[in-house]
Amino acid sequence: MTRVAFWRAVVVLLPVLALEVLCRTGVIAPIMMPAPSVVLRDLVTLLASGTMNGAIVKTLGNVALACVLAIVAGVALGALIHRWPGLRETLEPLFATYYAIPVYAFYPLFIILFGLGEAPQILIGFMLAVVAVIVNTLNGLDSVPRVLGKVARVYRLGPLATALRITLPYAAPYLFTGVKLAVAYAFIGVIGAEFIMSRTGLGYEISFAFNNFDNGVMYPLILLILVIATALNMSLERWEKALLRRRGRH
C-alpha cells in the first residue's frame, strides 16, 4: 500500500470508526442510526435474503440505460455541435448554466407526460448526464491538433471515418471524463427520481423504509448505493489512469 493510499484509507475509516464508537456508547441512539458494523451485517443479511434483488436490478438497469443513452447522444451531439461553430456559440452559454437548473423541479411534468413508470426516471438520469458528455466531447475535439485533420485527408478519410478513426480516439481521455460524469449523474438522477416518482428501485425502497422507521433496511441500502457508486467510480478511475499513462500524461 502506498503512503497516499494509506492516508486515504485513514480519512475514510476514521469517521466510520468514530461513528461506531458513538453508536456503541449510546451517544447516537440506535433508533437514529445503528452502528456501521450492524449496518454492514444487515446489508449482508438483506442481500442473502434476495428480497431486494428486483429493486437492485431495476435501479442498475435504469442507470445503465440512462448512461448509455447519454453517452451515445452526448458524443454524437458533441461531434455535431463541434462542426457548426454558430450552433456552438448559441448553445455553449446554455450548457454553462444547465446544471443550475434543478431537473427534479420538472418531475410533475414528467409524471403527466410519462406516468409513474421507468421512463421519467431514465429521462432524469439521461438529462443530468448528457450535457456533461456533450461538454467533454467538445473539449476533447478542441484538443485534436489540426495536423491530424490533414493526415486524415491524406488518407482520404471521409467525415465519419475521420471521426471514428482519428478525432474521437484522440479525444478519448476527455470523452472518458464525460463517461465518468455520466455514470455519476445517471446514478444521482435515477435514484433521486425513484424517491419521488416510483414504486420500485433502490431509491423507492430507501424512501419506503424511511417512512416506516425501518433502519434495518434503510441504512443497509444507503450503504449498498455508496459501495456500488464508489466501486464503479474507482474502476473507471483506474481505467482512465491507464489510458492517460499510455498518452504519457501520468
Partner 1 sequence: MTASPAVHVSLRGVTRVYEGSGSGRAVHALGPVDLDLLAGEFFAVVGPSGCGKSTLLEMIASLAPASAGSIVVEGRPITREVPEGVGVVFQEDACFPWLTVADNIVFGLRRQGLAAGETRRRLEDALALMGLAEFARAYPAQLSGGMRQRVCIARTLVSEPRLILLDEPFGALDQQTRLLMGDELLRLWRETGATVLLITHALDEAAMLADRIGVMSARPGRILEIVRTGWPRERDSRIVTEESFGDITGRLWRKLREESLKSMAGQPLPA
**What residues make contact with partner 1 under the rule CB under 8 A?**
145, 147-148, 150-151, 153-157, 166, 169-170, 172, 246-249
Alpha carbon distance 103, 207 (integer Å): 19
Q: Minimum distance from CB of 247 to partner 1 (Å)? A: 5
Q: Where are the alpha helices (DSSP H) in 155-214?
A: 159-162, 168-170, 172-197, 201-211
Closer Cβ to partner 1, 238 or 246, answer by number: 246
| Smallest distance from partner 1 to CB 98, Å | 30
Select 40 or 172, whichever has its Cβ closest to partner 1.
Answer: 172
CB of 159 to partner 1, least distance (A): 13
Radius of gyration of the chain (CA): 22
Give the helix/strand (H/E) hosting 80.
helix 53-83
- Nearest-approach distance from CB 72 to partner 1, in angstroms: 20
Pairwise CA distance, residues 71 & 198, whole Å: 24
- End-to-end alpha carbon distance in the chain: 19
- Nearest-approach distance from CB 153 to partner 1, in angstroms: 5
Residue bearing cell 406516468: 115
At a CB cut-off of 8 Å and minimum separation 6, what does 224 contact? 43, 47, 52, 56, 202
176 or 204: CB nearest partner 1? 176
**Nearest CB to partner 1, comparing residues 119 and 242:** 242
Rounded to whole angstroms, how far apart are CA atoms 26 and 16? 15
157 or 236: CB nearest partner 1: 157
